[in-house]
């Protein structure tokens, strides 16, 4: 995608085929993939790709605020290319993560903050997705 080439130019970091492939995979991706999933996908067309590169690239993208690191899944980091404020719905069975694009304005009173400087919030809704619900009936 040409858009992603521009994106890298704007970041003033070197544009490598590996970086482009990873950003292309992430762009518009709502699966909230882990490093493993990114590696598995991208290495199909890019057999020389190493896990280290995926970690490097993904960490670079996070540092440059192009991608968000999610700590919803306690076992592994997952990544979200959608940088605008939104929330997530997580299935406690299959760990699927879905976007929730609702604006909840959450206020925290000064006396609760006690000097804490608020920068944002993230809501995790949890429950069981319809797929897992169906499987349960067996």
Partner DNA sequence: TTTCATATTTATAACAATTATAATGTAATA
Partner DNA sequence: TATTACATTATAATTGTTATAAATATGAAA
Among 81, 26, 22, 83, residue whose Cα is nearest residue 57: 22
The residue from 53, 90, 97, 129 that contacts DNA (CB under 7 A) is 53
Among DNA, a second copy, none, what does residue 130 contact (CB within 5–8 Å per kind)? a second copy
Is 37 a binding residue for DNA by CB under 7 A? The answer is no
Distance of CA 51 to the CA centre of its chain: 17
Pairing of the two strands 87-91 and 78-80: unpaired
Shortest reach from residue 135's CB to DNA, in Å: 21
Binding residues for DNA (CB under 7 A):
8, 13-19, 34-36, 46, 48-53, 55-57, 59-60, 74-77
């Amino acid at each position: 995608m040409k858009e992603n080439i521009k994106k890298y130019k704007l970041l003033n970091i070197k544009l490598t085929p590996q970086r482009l492939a990873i950003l292309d995979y992430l762009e518009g991706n709502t699966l909230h993939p882990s490093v493993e999933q990114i590696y598995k996908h991208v290495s199909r067309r890019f057999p020389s790709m190493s896990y280290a590169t995926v970690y490097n690239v993904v960490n670079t993208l996070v540092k440059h605020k192009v991608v968000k690191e999610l700590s919803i899944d306690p076992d592994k980091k997952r990544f979200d290319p959608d940088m605008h404020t939104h929330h997530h719905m997580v299935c406690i069975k299959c760990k699927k993560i879905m976007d929730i694009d609702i604006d909840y304005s959450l206020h925290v009173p000064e006396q609760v903050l006690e000097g804490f400087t608020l920068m944002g919030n993230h809501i995790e809704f949890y429950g069981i997705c319809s797929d897992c619900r169906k499987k349960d009936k067996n």
